[in-house]
Structure 1
Amino acid sequence: MQSFIFKNKNLITFLSAILITTAFISKWTVDNLYLFTWSLVIATVIGALPIALQAYQVIRIKVVSIDVLVTIAVIGAFLIQNYEESAIVTFLFLFGAYLEQRTLKHTRSAIKELTDMAPESALKMIENGEFIEIDVDDVNEGDLLLVKTGAKVPVDGRVISGEGYINEASITGESLPVDKEKDSMVYAGTILENGTLQIVADRVGEDTTFGRIIDLVEEAQDSKSQVEKFIDRFSKYYTPVVLILAFVVWIITNNIELAITILVLGCPGALVIGVPVSNVAGIGNGARHGVLLKGSEVITEFSKVNSMVFDKTGTLTVGDPSVSETIYYTEDSAMVLSYLASIERESDHPLAKAILNELGEIELHNVENTEVVKGGGIVANINGQRIAVGNISLMEKEDVTLSDNVMADIDRLIKKGNSLVLTSVDGKLKLLIGIRDQIRSGVKKELSRLKKMGVKNLIMLSGDNQGAVDVISRELGLSEAYGDMLPEDKSAYINKLQSEGQIVAFIGDGVNDSPSLALANVGIAMGSGTDVAIETSDLVLMNSDFSRLTHALGLTKATSRNMKQNIVIALGVVLVLFTGLLFSGWVSMSVGMLVHELSILVVILNGMRLLGYKL
């Protein structure tokens, strides 16, 4: 019986509305008091059933909820034969619950959008080399899968053949298609816009990046902040106080209608729902913009941050060194470049990779007698000539003369934060290359916006040399910058800031900096959904787009303000109603319930504004 009543709660609300409408039409048109009275009686009885059953269930676990207050108020009004009030109050309470249910669904729209993106099937290769369609839950690690144009990638995996462009908005929040070719990583829930790919499954089911994102957003939306926990405790004691107050008023004044009205006016519905709806909407907005807020507590903490500490490589910089300047000391530059490329292909050093990327397709030579000089570079023979590629110390070891002009060039490149690669042929310097990690596009602008948003200290900590760190710090206008720091040095510095009363956010790549991410008040990981980033941090910028950081800060500040607004609205409405009850005659039980339900709708709509938040 209970399940039937709860299942048909909306139908009961609709019938109650029809009965109340019928009652007043019969009274105003034909003055039929018999139909008027019995319509209201029936409306009260059927409308009170789901409310009373809910009240009974919470009383069994020793909780006095809003349902208990309304049930007592309705029974009291019914007993004193105030059927108009009892019927209207039950209808408004049920209709308010219906509106809450409908509007709260919108605030959880991020989850629905994510789950709608989830792939349902996959094309799996079988023994004869053909592909058959199977349920995505039946895909196992190591399976070979085919993804066609317009299809969703079913699992996380690696491309083994084919080429195409994938829309990774479901993972990164960025709709610009990404080129995928052999050995590229692909993620479940992303869409192949053109081309055909064969992939091997690496992670399946809930272990995919997409599955983990859904889990994180669900957990975050279901989590509670300190404010919510306080309001829960407040409501636990507040509702019994209202009940006792109404009883005392009845004993003193002998006015049961006044006591019943106090029960209705004291319902803390808007207060209870206002903060959660703000949090849920804020987290939902973040999820749609590539910002994963891992819980309601992060919102409160991040909105108060006044110091941000950044890792350098992969955070403020791209993390992929590239050639910034090339200086020739010979007229035969083509020959020197071909010698350089031939030797650098023997190395797996990041600087060698940067040089080869810069040179592209070029003539290569056979390299003989290769010698790797630890901490210096490489020496080898090409076409009977001795070629040395490396740093200044290697040149000194090879007795290469560095003129005043060369030293001036070297000093200038070092001051710009470059790492140096020098090339000599038979003891004579032919080429000087400066290589540096490039600053992320738009970082300087975003750092300026962070300052305007109230972040007082912008600090960089890096394991790179102090010279390179100083160069980037000057370019970006940072408050402080420290180089040559190990992970434990970074953690110690964050501890120092916190001991000085600073609320610190640390932004890193989520791999080498996990101690700092865990220690900071808010740990923020840059990266496209890496395991360590998701597990260690409090907030993840899924597409490594630095502008998402300012969006995240603005969003948490807006969400925090929204929560406070909803608390003021909820308490203000209760205060106004009680003032109206004590000092004027305009507040009745039904008016109180109407205003009460409207206040719930107002705080929900106010919270829903966050779904459309843009910085």
Structure 2
Amino acid sequence: MKVKIMHEIKGRIRFHVTQKRMSYEQADILQYYFSMGKNITHVNVQNRTGDVTVCYQGDREEVIKMIKTFSYENVEVPKIFLENSGRELNEKYKEKLINKVVLRYSSKLFIPYPIRAAISVVKSTKYIKHGIQTLLKGKIEVPVLDATAITVSMLRGDMETAGSVMFLLGIGEILEEWTHKKSVDDLARSMSLNIDKVWLVGSDGKEVLVDSNQIKAGDKVVVHMGNIIPFDGTVTDGDAMVNQASMTGESLPVQKEKDSSVYAGTVVEEGELTICVKEVSGSGRFDKIVSMIEESEKLKSQVEGKAEHLADRLVPYTLLGTGITWLITRNVTRALSVLMVDFSCALKLAMPISVLSAIREASIYNITVKGGKYLEAIAEADSIVFDKTGTLTKAQPTVVDVISFNGQSQDELLKIAACLEEHFPHSMAKAVVDAAAKKGLEHEEEHTKVEYIVAHGISTFYNGRKTIIGSSHFVFEDEKCVVPKGMEEKFDNLPLQCSHLYLAIENELAGVICIEDPLRDEAEAVINSLKKAGLSKVVMMTGDSERTASVIAKRVGVDEYYSEVLPEDKAKFVEKEKSLGRKVIMIGDGVNDSPALSAADVGIAISDGAQIAREIADVTIGADSLYEIVTLKAISNGLMKKIHKNYKDIAIFNTGLIVLGVAGIIQPTLAALLHNTSTLLISLRSMQNLLDD
């Protein structure tokens, strides 16, 4: 690829690709290639001009090397990225908007008035037909008002006013459609699957962890409890309860057994399935998600619904005001001024655009919001509940020690633990697996079917011996395991600063894995910021011991904390708070947080956590920082402020236009122009980023 560097400052290079025309696909390949660079912070590719802007940190030569070695043919881009980049959609609507404006003003310059008038008559049929259809349904809503304004203008011979009204209505339609499609596509892309590894059943019947892009139609994969089903397929073995809410909207899990069909993106809540893969492409799921979002009321916040209903309810009053003005003044011009100015257009257009733009803005910060009503709930929330592990503490806990109680070596105990833990999605399990990998400990599948007990631990038979790993409660109280004789003092002196995973073999403690679960650096500052943003009650809930929980709670500054809680305890607490009239946000990352995430007014999942938590949650935080929660709260609060400001501005400006029109100070044509221009400006303002205001 031949390029020419056009401009350069420290940390930023803009270069031009010397080729005749850059296709959308080539622009997406360039975007993907540079965004994958380790020190690249931002990439912007303009396919029209062939210009590429790259912002980076660190060594300039690394960027130059990337430019020199780039070739379209040598870059492997995920199919889902190319199919759903959104670049073509944006270009399409930009062209639509530019063409409409250019056509409007060039026609006024070059097309004679009689021809323009005839064109206006033809265009008006669409609006008049829509208005009549609305009336025939027994409704007096916005289409009726639009049709009446256009019809009255044409009957008076004022074709310029009729044309202006239709032009501005058309601009509004393009902006609304563009913003809606882009917001829905952005949301759907962020909800699309991003599964790197899957368990493939090998020819010898053993499970092998492989890259998901190696899977072909006809392969068999195993999906364990708490994991997302990665592909459409048919169950060949196993029995499980599958949560299909993301695809079908069903609130209750559905039982799946042999010969049942399963769908990519659904989640195994209980049990385990072996699936024969039917389709490996992700585009089908993307299309299904788009359809689900577009048809779902989830996108509608209460303020959106109120705006739409208010807009329609105001139409009869606008028509009544037109009639009264004519009866009093007997002046058609003054009456038409009322008809040309209504509140409904701005209300119905600006509010949905505000909400969808806020969802789009959240996605810039790697925050996926699954509907406008959740932004509204976050703005109104007064209580927030944090899980501790992987949420207030770092998502990458680390194994710092393995203490043997049965004479086996540390490495042997860690290998057994990793063999069990690798099947299940939790930050503590990941710490064990990572520690074994760092030591180069290869662990064969030497166990029978692994059973995962939510919030407790794992049970199986390893080399014919019953082996369990999990919490103190699970190992010593539920499973009645004991500490080996003579090891009591060693057990009593376990390091207090660590979290502990207990490994027992044949009902006797074999080893304790000590895991450092460091507090996130930003945790205290985030909680203080959330309190300042309007959250009056901050709670921490954890399955950890009272000792560990009290230390963390004091450091971060929560109002209340609860230790040694089970998943159902978290959900019950959320329900209790809601029954007291409080709006509750729940933040978690594990399988055991799922009931509470579902129960809360807004469930927020940390993206590094369990897949089921991300799927059930209403919001997913993609960045590895709790500051994004503060950002989300700021966006939600800003959205409500913007909506209330829009209400106020629409009411004041349009009331003023009506008064001026009835008084005869301004003509209907000017009133219509000012009204539609204000609607357009408010809609454009609604598309602006809230955090830039």
Q: 1:419 aligns with which of 500, 504, 514?
A: 500
Residue of structure 1 equivalent to 2:483: 394
Cross-structure match for 1:602? 681
Task: Tell me which residue corresponds to 1:58.
Answer: 134
Counterpart in the other structure of 1:88? 160
Cα distance in 2 for partners of 1:10, 1:50 equals 22
Distance change (3 Å), C-alpha of 1:237 and 1:477? closer
What amino acid is aligned across from residue 577 of structure 2 in structure 1? L
**Matching of residue 69 in structure 1 with residue 145 in structure 2:** yes
SS class of match (1:455) = coil
Residues in 1 aligned to 2:502 and 2:611: alpha-carbon distance in whole angstroms: 35
Q: How many residues are aligned here? A: 489
The aligned residue for residue 502 of structure 1 is 582
- RMSD over aligned CA atoms reads 4.9
Shift of 1:491: 2.2
Q: 1:194-233 to 2 correspondence within 5 Å?
A: 204-205=280-281, 214=290, 218=294, 223-233=299-309
Equivalent residue number for residue 550 of structure 1: 630
Are the equivalent residues in 2 in contact too, given 1:221–1:283 (CA < 8 A)?
Answer: no
Partner of 2:356: 280
Q: Which residue of 1 aligns with 2:331?
A: 255
TM-score for both structures, normalised by structure 1: 0.66
- Decide whether aligned partners of structure 1 residues 46 and 342 sit closer, same or farther in structure 2, where only a CA change above 3 A counts: closer
Instruction: Report the CA distance between 1:542 and its aligned residue.
Output: 4.2
Q: Return closer, same or farther for 1:576/1:371 CA change in 2, 3 Å cut-off.
A: closer
Deviates more, 1:272-281 or 1:282-291: 282-291
The structure-2 alpha-carbon separation of the partners of 1:574 and 1:143, relative to structure 1 and needing over 3 Å to count, comes to: same
Q: 2:471, 2:316 → 1: CA distance?
A: 77
The AA in structure 1 aligned to 2:131 is A
- State the partner residue of 1:439: 519
Structure 2 equivalent of residue 568 of structure 1: 648
- For the residue of structure 1 that corresponds to 2:581, the secondary structure is coil
| Conserved 8 A contact 1:510-1:537 | no
Q: Secondary structure at the match of 2:687?
A: helix
Residues 142, 312 of structure 2: 8 Å contact kept: no
Q: Is the 8 A contact 2:337 2:671 kept in 1?
A: yes
Q: Which amino acid aligns with 1:398?
A: G
User: Aligned partners of 1:371 and 1:201: how far apart in 2?
Assistant: 33
Give the 5 Å matches for 1:354-433: 357=436, 360=439, 394=483, 397-398=485-486, 413-414=495-496, 416-419=497-500
Tell me the equivalent position of 2:382.
Answer: 306
Q: Is the 8 A contact 2:589 2:608 kept in 1?
A: no
Offset at residue 341 of structure 1 (A): 2.5
Query: What secondary structure sits across from 1:95 in the alignment?
Result: helix
Residues 438-587 of structure 1 aligned to structure 2 (within 5 Å): 438-440=518-520, 442-509=522-589, 511-527=591-607, 532-542=612-622, 545-583=625-663, 585-587=664-666
Contact 1:65 1:239 in 2 (8 A): yes
Distance 2:119 2:469 in 1: 89
Change (3 A) 1:67 1:111: closer
Deviation at 1:570, TM superposition (A): 1.7
Secondary structure of 1:63's match?
coil
Look up the SS of the partner of 1:485 in the other structure. coil
Structure 2 letter corresponding to 1:394: V
Given that 2:414 and 2:436 are in contact with CA atoms closer than 8 Å, whether structure 1 keeps it comes out as no
For 1:341, the equivalent position in structure 2 comes to: 411
AA partner of residue 516 (structure 2): R
What is the distance in 2 between the residues matched to 1:432 and 1:453?
42
Q: Deviations over 1:121-147 (max 9, x none)?
A: xxxxxxxxxxxxxxx9x9746289xxx
Q: Deviations over 1:132-181 (max 9, x none)?
A: xxxx9x9746289xxxxxxxxxx769xxxxxxxxxxxxxxxxxxxxxxxx
Once structures 1 and 2 are overlaid, which stretch shifts more, 525-534 or 468-477? 525-534
Contact 1:220–1:294 (CA<8 Å) still a contact in 2?
A: no
Q: Distance in 2 between matches of 1:18 and 1:600?
A: 23
SS in 1 for 2:591: coil
* Aligned twin of 2:79: none
Give the stretch that moved more between structures: 110-119 or 246-255: 110-119
C-alpha displacement of 1:598: 0.9
| Separation of aligned partners in 1, 2:609 and 2:433 | 25
Give the superposition deviation at 1:569.
2.2
- Distance in 1 between residues matched to 2:612 and 2:132, nearest whole Å: 47
Q: Cα deviations across residues 400-441 of structure 1 (Å, max 9, x unaligned)?
A: 766xxx97x75xx32x3543889xxxxxxxx99853333345
Distance in 2 between residues matched to 1:339 and 1:557, nearest whole Å: 55
- 2:172 aligns with 100
CA contact (8 A) 1:16 1:46 kept: no
Higher RCO (C-alpha under 8 Å, 6+ residues apart): 1
User: What amino acid is the match of 1:303?
Assistant: A
- State the AA in 2 paired with 1:227: V
After superposition, what is the alpha-carbon deviation per residue over 1:179-222, rounded to whole angstroms, capped at 9, x for unaligned?
Answer: xxxxxxxxx99xxxxxxxxxx96974569876676566656798
CA distance in structure 1 between the aligned counterparts of 2:281 and 2:438, rounded to whole angstroms: 42
Q: Which of the two has higher C-alpha Rg?
A: 1
Determine the C-alpha separation between the residues in 2 that align with 1:355 and 1:261.
Answer: 72
Aligned with 1:237 (options 297, 302, 313): 313
Q: What is the distance in 2 between the residues matched to 1:112 and 1:61?
A: 32
Distance 1:303 1:369, change over 3 A: closer
State the shift of 1:273 in Å: 0.6
CA contact (8 A) 1:47 1:87 kept: no
1:142 aligns with 2:219: yes
Q: Which moved more, 1:354-363 or 1:87-96?
A: 354-363
Question: 258, 271, 275: which is aligned to 2:347?
Answer: 271
- Which position in structure 1 is the counterpart of 2:368? 292
What amino acid is the match of 1:95?
Answer: F
Asked whether the 8 Å contact 2:597–2:616 carries over to 1, the reply is yes
Query: CA offsets per residue over residues 482-528 of structure 1, 9 Å max, x none?
Result: 11112222222223322333211111236223322222111222235
How far residue 343 of structure 1 moved from its aligned partner, in angstroms, is 4.4
TM-score normalized by the length of structure 2 = 0.59
Query: What amino acid maps onto 1:345 in structure 2?
Result: K
SS of alignment partner, residue 435 of structure 1: strand
Taking only the aligned residue pairs, the percentage that are identical comes to: 22
Residue 270 of structure 1: how far off its partner (Å):
0.7
Name the CA shift for 1:373/1:450 in 2 (closer, same or farther; >3 Å): closer
Q: Give, as a single letter, the amino acid of the residue that structure 1 aligns with 2:500.
A: S
* Contact 1:51–1:71 (CA under 8 A) maintained in structure 2: yes
- After TM superposition, list the pairs within 5 Å mapping 1:12-31 onto structure 2: 20-21=108-109
Q: How far 1:48 sits from its partner (Å)?
A: 3.1
SS in structure 2 at match of 1:587: coil
What residue is the counterpart of 2:13 in the other structure? none
Whichever residue aligns with residue 590 of structure 1, its letter is T
CA distance in 1, matches of 2:471, 2:589: 29
Matched residues in 2 for 1:346 and 1:479: separation?
Answer: 40
CA distance in 2, matches of 1:495, 1:339: 46
Q: Counterparts of 2:442 and 2:104 in 1: how far apart (Å)? A: 86
